[in-house]
Amino acid sequence: MPEVKSTFREVLPKQGQLSMEDVPTMVLCKPKLLPLKSVTLEKLEKMHQEAQEVIKQQEMALKEQGKEQ
């Protein structure tokens, strides 16, 4: 591929201030791991499971009382 010469040439000032354009660039950071289930959802599931166990125990107690009579 032939080298293309630029029509502009770089000029650096001998006196005064040299300004430079600040170009925003993307900064990569570590990915953040998010839980698959929220804490609230886990609490709700635990409460639901405990309620189901209480219902089972009550049903078993009712069955045993029904057999005795």
Q: Tens digits of per-residue pLDDT, 21-61?
A: 778 888 888 888 888 888 899 999 999 999 999 999 999 99
Q: Which residue has the higher pLDDT, 68 or 61?
A: 61
pTM (2 d.p.): 0.45
CB of 25 closer than 8 Å to CB of 31 = no
Closest CA to 10 of 25, 24, 20: 20
DSSP 8-state class, residue 59: H
